[in-house]
């Protein structure tokens, strides 16, 4: 139907053109009255004529010849016997034929075409105009309360496309078995979980894992965001929840995936910043629908969030979201597997090692790793390369972490030397302090808001950190500022980010981890995110005296680290100057070059085997071109010259 509506404007134009053509063709007919016709009939010669006789009039249409021209005429004559006889004699005088027509023969069609068709055309015209102006949008009012869930019936994603979360796959495998063959679960009396809550940082693959479950089970996948339920009008979200579950029941077995469920599932009655009548009604309807799902109905609800602390307790109880699957950031093995998945369609050079790349990207999520490979591919295209090299991927890591390099930004000589010593201070602490992070790369090229960049990675990835490791990390963060104090006798504002990080670590050591003289007492909520409706009015959990002691402990930790940092840099002043000098000259140093500076005092290892010199390409032996004196020695030339001289004297 919609296809025909698109052709209506064209049809309307065609009808107008035909009407104009019809009326223009009628315009060539000369209409005369009875008197004019009688005067012209005296001298004219008539051809074939059509006569239509009604009760009171006679309608005559025909062609007459007036001089050298033929005139098509139309005339109405009163109906009488005298006029009929006169017409018959006049029109047949020159051999013309008279055709008598029924006056009522075409009246119905004339009426339809003349009266109804214009109205139809006008109606269609106004319908099209209203549809173009948005009149058709009123139909959407009936769809306002319908679910906005997107349905995929043939999901292509499989477990092979999800890497770095093997334990999480094991947690959802029985969901796949249930969706494939639910009978063996019902025979055993088992009830499959109605809801699965996936919790984890952004970019760890929660949505991808849920889609892979649907792909492995080969069932429809309903996906919707929590914000799609909430509208300005109260009751709309609840209606959409009902409609979504109604559609899911028709497609069972299936999976319903709700992304960012914290947008609609926050704690009810949270007060300031948390109360919302529409959102709470939507949550209530979601709870009711999950309770109304009979056991083993074939619908599994999977939700994802990175804020489980703000969810309503009624949503998390057993019988609704029965199982929680935590999707953490991948370890080095998982990062390598993720890189292998995203490198399938990438043209990597032979020097690219995904294992080394995985070791250099601790704390990266799956989305970050995909972005690294994509940025590397973009850089390779930009540099007009045929393959992605390790240099491209090194630059891609820096771009993802700190932003693009600002090579056009120029330092003054004094500022460049200050930044060099600042970054060299971080590097020396990383080299000389046992528990400090390893230095992978140091550069003084500005990136983002930072004047320099020091890439440091843990020596090995751990789930639990010791107090000495936190102390070493704070000491490493103080390396840049302390180097400025030792060399220049003053400090700059370049260490603002370092100070922010070390202050957070020191406070957590005292308030959260109990790593101070205050003992194993937690004085703060370990959750870093604040829920305004719940935490804004919550008072402090300790007294003012304890707060003063916390401040003293934090300051004591930082002061001790600062003293240790100054001692290490003072003892290794020669290494500090050497790294800073090479940074000032070369702007970027790699891990290998820094180690060579520490061990050998130069950027290159003097003991490393040097590459064998390639033999020079020699030209093929070509015999010399003989000269005029070829084969004649100089002695012979001298003797010949002497003989000539003697002959001349004689």
Given a contact cutoff of 8 angstroms between Cβ atoms, the answer to whether 301 and 322 are in contact is: no
So what's the pLDDT on residue 332?
A: 86
Q: Residue 103, annotated ligand binder?
A: no
pLDDT value for 485: 92
- Residues 257 and 195 sit within 8 Å (Cβ to Cβ): no
Taking only Cα atoms into account, the Rg of the chain, rounded to an integer number of angstroms, comes to: 47
Phi, psi (deg, nearest 5) at residue 55: -65, -40
Any catalytic annotation for residue 423?
A: yes
**Which comes out higher in pLDDT, residue 343 or 36?**
343
Q: Dump pLDDT digits (tens) for 27-37.
A: 456 777 777 77
Residue 562 assigned as binding residue? no
Residue-wise pLDDT for 510-554, tens only, equals 998 889 888 888 887 555 555 445 555 555 677 888 889 999 999
**Which one is the CATH code of 332-402: 1.10.10.10, 3.30.70.270, 1.10.8.60, 3.40.50.10860?**
1.10.8.60
pLDDT for 400-417, tens place per residue?
887 777 766 667 888 889
Q: Are 481 and 565 in contact (CB under 8 A)?
A: no
pLDDT at residue 584 is higher than 80: yes
* pLDDT score of 630: 41
Backbone angles phi, psi at 17, to 5 degrees: -65, -45
pLDDT for the residue numbered 568: 93
| Cα separation of the two ends of the chain | 129
Q: What is the pLDDT of residue 564?
A: 94
pLDDT, position 620: 45
Q: Regarding the domain delimited by 150-326, which CATH topology (the fold level of the hierarchy) does it fall under?
A: Rossmann fold (3.40.50)
- In this prediction, residue 573 carries a pLDDT of 92
* Catalytic member of 278, 395, 423, 593: 423
Residue tagged 């018959």 (tokens) = 88
What pLDDT is recorded for position 471? 92
Which of these CATH numbers, 3.30.420.590, 3.40.50.300, 3.40.1160.10, 3.30.720.210, describes 2-126? 3.30.720.210
Give ranges for CATH 1.10.8.60 in the chain.
332-402
The ranges of the chain annotated as CATH 3.40.50.300 are: 150-326
Which tens digits make up the pLDDT trace of 600-646?
A: 878 776 666 665 555 554 444 444 444 444 444 445 435 544 554 44
Judge whether residue 308 has pLDDT over 90: no
How far apart CA 234 and CA 284 sit, in angstroms, is: 13
Report yes or no: 129 and 123 within 8 Å, Cβ to Cβ.
Answer: no
Q: Is 422 annotated as a binding residue?
A: yes
Q: For the residues of 280-323, what is the DSSP string, one character each?
A: HHHHHHHHHHHHHSPTT-SEEEEEEES-GGGB-HHHHSTTTEEE
Range 428-449 average pLDDT: 81
Report whether 615 belongs to an annotated binding site: no
Predicted pLDDT of residue 618: 47
Which residues of the chain does CATH 1.20.58.760 include? 413-526+541-600
The response to whether 204 counts as a known ligand-binding position is yes
Which of the 8 DSSP states describes residue 348?
B
607 is in an annotated binding site: no
Is 624 annotated as ligand-binding?
no
The predicted structure's pLDDT at residue 133: 54
67 is in an annotated binding site: no
pLDDT digits (tens, 9 = 90+) for 104-159: 655 555 556 666 767 777 777 777 766 655 544 445 544 556 667 788 888 888 88
Cβ density class 466-505: b for 16+ within 10 Å, e for less: eeebbbbbbbbbbbbbbbbbebeeeeeebbeebeeebeeb
What class does CATH assign to 413-526+541-600?
A: mainly alpha
Angstrom distance (rounded) from CA 330 to CA 188: 36
Q: Is 201 annotated as a binding residue?
A: yes
- Cα–Cα distance measured from residue 267 to residue 563, given in angstroms and rounded to the nearest whole number: 47
Q: What strand order describes the sheet that includes 588-590?
A: 453-457, 438-443, 588-590
Reported as a single tens digit per residue, the pLDDT across 605-616 is: 666 666 555 555
The CA distance from 208 to 410, in Å, is 44
């Amino acid at each position: 139907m919609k296809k025909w509506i698109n052709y209506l404007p064209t049809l309307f134009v065609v009808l107008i053109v035909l009407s104009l053509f019809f009326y223009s063709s009628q315009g060539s007919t000369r209409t005369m009255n009875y008197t004019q016709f009688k005067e012209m009939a005296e001298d004219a010669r008539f051809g074939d004529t059509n006569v239509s006789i009604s009760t009171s009039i006679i309608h005559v249409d025909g062609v007459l010849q007036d001089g050298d021209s033929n005139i098509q005429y139309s005339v109405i004559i009163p109906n009488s016997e005298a006029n009929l006889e006169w017409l018959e004699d006049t029109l047949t005088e020159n051999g013309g034929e008279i055709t008598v027509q029924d006056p009522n023969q075409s009246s119905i069609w004339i009426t339809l075409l003349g009266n109804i068709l214009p109205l139809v055309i006008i109606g269609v015209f106004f319908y099209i105009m209203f549809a173009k102006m948005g009149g058709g949008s009123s139909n959407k009012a009936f769809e306002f309360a319908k679910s906005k869930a997107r349905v995929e019936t043939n999901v292509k994603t499989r477990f092979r496309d999800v890497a770095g979360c093997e334990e999480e796959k094991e947690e959802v495998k029985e969901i796949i078995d249930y969706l494939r063959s639910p009978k063996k679960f019902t025979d055993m009396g088992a009830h499959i979980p109605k809801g699965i809550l996936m919790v984890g940082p952004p970019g760890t693959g929660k949505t991808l894992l849920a889609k892979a479950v649907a792909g492995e089970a080969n069932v429809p996948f309903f996906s919707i965001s929590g914000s799609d339920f909430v509208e300005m009008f109260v009751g709309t979200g609840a209606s959409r929840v009902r409609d979504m579950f109604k559609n899911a029941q028709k497609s069972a077995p299936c999976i319903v995936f709700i992304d960012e469920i914290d947008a609609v599932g926050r704690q009810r009655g949270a007060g300031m910043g948390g109360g919302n009548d529409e959102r709470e009604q939507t949550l209530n309807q979601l709870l009711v629908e999950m309770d109304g799902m009979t056991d083993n109905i074939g619908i599994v609800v999977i939700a994802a969030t990175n804020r489980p602390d703000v969810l309503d307790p009624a949503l998390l109880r057993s019988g609704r979201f029965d199982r929680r699957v935590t999707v953490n950031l991948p370890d080095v093995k998982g990062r390598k597997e993720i890189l292998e998945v995203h490198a399938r369609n990438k043209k990597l050079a032979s020097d690219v090692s995904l294992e080394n790349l995985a070791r250099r990207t601790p704390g990266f999520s799956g989305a970050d790793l995909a972005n690294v490979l994509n940025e590397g591919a973009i850089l390779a295209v930009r540099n007009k390369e045929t393959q992605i090299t390790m240099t491209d991927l090194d630059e891609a890591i820096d771009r993802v972490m700190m932003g693009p390099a600002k090579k056009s930004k120029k330092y003054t000589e004094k500022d460049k030397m200050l930044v060099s010593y600042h970054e060299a201070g971080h590097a020396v602490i990383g080299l000389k302090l046992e528990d400090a992070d390893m230095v992978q790369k140091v550069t003084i090229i500005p990136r983002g808001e930072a004047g320099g960049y020091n890439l440091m990675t843990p020596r090995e990835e751990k789930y639990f950190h010791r107090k000495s490791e936190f102390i070493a990390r704070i000491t490493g963060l103080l390396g840049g500022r302390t180097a400025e104090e030792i060399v220049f006798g003053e400090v700059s504002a370049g260490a603002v980010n370092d100070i922010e990080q070390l202050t957070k670590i020191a406070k957590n050591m005292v308030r959260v981890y109990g790593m101070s003289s205050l003992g194993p007492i937690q004085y703060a909520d370990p959750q870093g995110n604040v829920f305004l409706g719940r935490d804004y009015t919550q008072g402090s959990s300790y007294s003012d005296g304890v707060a003063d002691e916390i401040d003293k402990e934090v300051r004591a930790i930082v002061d001790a680290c600062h003293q240790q940092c100054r001692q290490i840099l003072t003892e290794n002043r020669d290494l500090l100057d050497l790294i800073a000098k090479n940074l000032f000259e070369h702007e970027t140093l790699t891990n290998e070059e820094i180690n060579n500076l520490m061990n050998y005092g130069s950027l290159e290892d003097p003991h490393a085997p040097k590459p064998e010199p390639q033999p020079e390409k020699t030209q093929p032996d070509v015999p010399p071109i003989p000269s005029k004196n070829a084969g004649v020695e100089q002695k012979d030339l001298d003797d010949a010259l002497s003989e000539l001289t003697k002959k001349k004297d004689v």
